[in-house]
Structure 1
Amino acid sequence: MTGQGLMRVDETKSTAGRRTLPLPKFAIEMLQKRRHLPYFGEQTVIFPSTAGTLRDPNNFAKEWRTAREELGHGDATTHSFRKTVATLIDDEGLSARIGADHLGHSHVSMTQDRYMSRGRIHTQVADLLDRAVREGHDDDETSTD
């Protein structure tokens, strides 16, 4: 609202957005280090502005853009990170349900359709067909007419 400054909104788009996520060790270690930094400002936030207040989204966007360009990943977005996590989940052979739960999707179909890769070569299908034909051929050889 105009004239109120920055406000923190604790709501999510859906109930699936409110969830507990186990963090990887590197994230836990980073957060534990930040806990020991001196606290300045009005808000007890993990990543405050240099004045110790909530970060202005426009200022953050500029800093984020600069960091991406310096790292040689100017086209990376927050959506890119979500897509990468979904791809890692898919590559690991974890289910689309696990992906949907982690990404906060109410429907597994959203995760499968929008986040998990298509057009991959699945050698398992060729192996399955080889086994099926081989087993069918073996049955033909062992049967007597």
Structure 2
Amino acid sequence: MVSEIPLAKLPDIQSKVDGLAHGVLIPLFFAFIGFLINPYTLKNTGSFTLLIILAALSGKLAGGFIGSKVIGFDFYESLIFGTGVMPRAGVELVILTIGRELQIINQETFSSMVLMVVVSILISPICVRWAVQARQRKNG
């Protein structure tokens, strides 16, 4: 709506909103989601949770890798890109939260999926570092 106002100073407004969003609102959102996890349900969903984590990580890696190969990146650039997109999960968390509130997703599935997001955020930097080092070793 603001973008339609000819006198609006969009860069100025955006810089102020970005600071608030990234400094306060986004961390609060992630903390809120974390508080919704029931750790007791995770002990009953061990293999399901592991399967979700492996499927999500490999799917994100494959999607990023294949997509970047299609547009012309080499193998190592595609590997770096694929590992770099693994922690992207903001939309998933919103959908999970809505599904939980509408009771489409049960607590066990919700907790497993949120744990998958946490694992992907934690493991991605390690994978990116490994991919960058592999590229450096290859290019020597």
TM-score, with length taken from structure 1: 0.27
Higher-helix-fraction structure: 2
Q: Which has the larger radius of gyration?
A: 1
Q: Which has the higher contact order (CA 8 A, sep 6+)?
A: 2
TM-score, with length taken from structure 2: 0.28
